[in-house]
């Protein structure tokens, strides 16, 4: 089996990142961890983990993520361009507050990907076009939004728009690099652009199914780690205060 | 947004979700949630609904010229096939 590249997006200081990486090493091979650092340059330099890339992009460092259309485009491009472990075949992308809970996480993800015959697994994956999804409606007000999908799609229906939570996605390398290679024509929100683009490039996306209940947008589930693990969780999100 | 505006918004949303109109999946009959559904200046405002729904005119078993119904449906979970065109991999694995 070719290795999985485990990409962790963080903006935290070196001490917190060290604690996070130590936890991750119990769940995935240490050499498979690549840190994508969106914090300060000083924090980045102080992180002892060798496999790391610095993301210097104001589209990542938003405060009102939805209204400022936060983007992970630069993260995807830096990861796709990284040459530290060239022979990986899949990418697991997680935010710093998305905690892995099982020792064979990547094997479980690969098994689910194969079972679903999918190219991408995502949490809370859903179709949102023509609905009251507020992120969709904000994009639908921009005429270039629908035009873009008509230009890039290989699908019969260019109107399909998908959404998924940005953290915890699992990709084949081909799907990830195809999305990384396609720039946003205008700012699009991170929960809309990657899944919708992957779909229109012809890749098959599926939801994590029962695992989705262990991933939600808001809160701090630091007190739920053990109960979640006992309930069968592979991962838990968000766990914000675990690393100090 | 001011504290007062946030408080009023929270109150209105809580009211909409407790005593608002039932929103039902027109295909299955399942209750999706509750919301205030208010005609307003030629549009219909949906306030407080905690679900992503698609409004549609509903099929009618009896043809009536005087009334048609708008209901709500949910998209099916995404289950589209793989249709990606073969691409030359930019980084072929080492042999």
Task: Concatenate the DSSP letters of all residues of chain B into one string.
Answer: --HHHHHHHHHHHHHHHHHSEEEEBTTT--EEEEEEEEEETTEEEEES--S--EEEEPP-SS--SS---EEEE-PPPP-PPP-PPP---SSPPP-
DSSP string, A73-119: HHHHHHHHH--SSTT--EEEEEETT-EE--TTHHHHHHHHHHHTT-S
Inform me whether the C-beta atom of residue B90 falls under 8 Å from chain A C-beta atoms. Answer: yes
Say if B80 is an interface residue toward chain A (CB within 8 Å): yes
- Where exactly are the structural domains of chain B? 3-60+68-73
**A168 three-state secondary structure:** coil
Contact B84 A126 (CB under 8 A): no
Band (B93; pLDDT cuts 50, 70, 90) = very low
Tens of pLDDT, residues A175-205 = 999 999 999 999 899 999 999 999 999 999 9
Straight-line distance from the first to the last Cα atom of chain A, in angstroms, rounded to the nearest whole number: 35
State the pTM of this model. 0.91
User: What's the token pair of residue A108?
Assistant: 């479980």
Query: Is A201 in Cβ contact with B82 (below 8 Å)?
Result: no
Place of tokens 């992503």: B52
Listed in sequence order, the residues at least 6 apart from A175 whose beta carbon sits closer than 8 Å to its beta carbon are A119, A120, A198, A201, A203, B84
SS3 A143: helix
- Which residues from chain A sit within 8 angstroms of residue B90, using beta carbons? 177
**What are the tens digits of pLDDT across the range A124-168?**
999 999 999 999 999 999 989 999 999 999 999 999 999 999 999
Q: Which of A88, A89, A126 should one mutate to test binding to chain B, selecting the residue with the greatest count of B CBs within 10 A?
A: A126
Q: Could you report the per-residue pLDDT of A10-23, keeping only the tens digit for each?
A: 988 899 999 999 99
B1 touches A at CB < 8 Å? no
Nearest to B54 among A119, A131, A173 (CB): A131
CA distance A238 to A170: 17
Would you say residue A232 has pLDDT above 70? yes
Interface membership of B67 toward A (CB under 8 Å): no
**B51-69 mean pLDDT:** 94
What's the rounded Cα separation, in Å, for the pair A175 and B75? 24
- Find the mean pLDDT for residues B9-38: 95
Q: Calculate the alpha carbon distances from A190 to A47, A162, B9 in Å.
A: 26, 11, 27
Selected residue of A89, A124, A132, A205 to mutate for chain B interface (largest B Cβ count, 10 A): A132
Give the SS3 label for residue A190. Answer: coil
Q: Which domains does chain A have, with CATH numbers?
A: 4-236 (3.90.550.10)
Q: Band of the pLDDT at A221, cuts 50, 70, 90?
A: confident
Rg from Cα positions in chain A: 17
- Closest in B79, B84, B93 to A203, CB measured: B84
pLDDT of residue B86: 67
- Residue written as token pair 């119904």: B69
Tell me if A175 and B77 make a contact (CB, 8 A cut-off): no
Give me chain A's average pLDDT, please.
92
Asked if B77 and A126 come within 8 Å (Cβ–Cβ), the reply is yes
Across the interface, do A154 and B83 touch by the CB < 8 Å criterion?
yes
| The two three-digit tokens of residue A140, written as one number | 């639908």
Interface test with A, best of B16, B83, B90 (most A CBs within 10 A): B83
* Contact indicator for A161, A196 with CB cutoff of 8 Å: yes
């Amino acid at each position: 089996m070719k290795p999985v590249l485990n990409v962790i997006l963080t903006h935290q200081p070196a001490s917190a990142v060290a604690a996070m990486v130590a936890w991750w090493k119990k769940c995935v091979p240490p050499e498979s961890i690549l840190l994508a650092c969106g914090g300060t340059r000083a924090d980045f330099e102080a992180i002892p983990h060798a496999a790391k890339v610095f993301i210097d992009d104001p589209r990542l460092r938003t405060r009102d993520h939805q209204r400022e259309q936060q983007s992970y485009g630069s993260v995807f491009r830096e990861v796709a361009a990284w040459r530290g472990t060239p022979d990986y075949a899949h990418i697991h992308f997680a935010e710093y507050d998305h905690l892995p809970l099982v020792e064979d996480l990547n094997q479980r993800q690969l098994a689910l990907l194969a079972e679903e015959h999918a190219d991408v697994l995502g949490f809370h994956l859903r179709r949102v076009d023509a609905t009251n999804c507020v992120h969709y409606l904000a994009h639908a007000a921009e005429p270039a939004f629908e035009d873009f999908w008509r230009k890039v799609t290989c699908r019969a229906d260019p109107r399909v728009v998908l959404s998924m939570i940005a953290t915890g996605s699992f990709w084949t390398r081909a799907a990830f690099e195809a999305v990384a290679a396609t720039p946003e024509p205008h700012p699009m929100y991170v929960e809309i652009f990657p899944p919708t683009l992957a779909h229109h490039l012809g890749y098959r996306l599926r939801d994590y199914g029962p695992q989705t209940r262990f991933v939600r947008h808001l809160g701090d589930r630091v007190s739920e780690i053990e109960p979640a693990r006992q309930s069968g969780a592979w991962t838990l999100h968000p766990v914000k205060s675990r690393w100090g | 947004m001011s504290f007062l505006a946030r408080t009023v918004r929270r109150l209105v949303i809580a009211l909409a979700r407790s005593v608002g109109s039932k929103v039902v999946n027109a295909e299955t009959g399942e209750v999706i949630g509750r919301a205030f559904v208010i005609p307003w200046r030629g549009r219909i405002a949906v306030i407080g609904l905690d679900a992503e729904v698609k409004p549609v005119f509903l099929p009618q078993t009896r043809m009536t010229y005087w009334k048609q119904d708008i209901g709500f449906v949910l998209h099916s979970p995404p289950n589209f096939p793989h249709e990606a065109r073969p691409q030359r991999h930019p980084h072929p694995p080492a042999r």
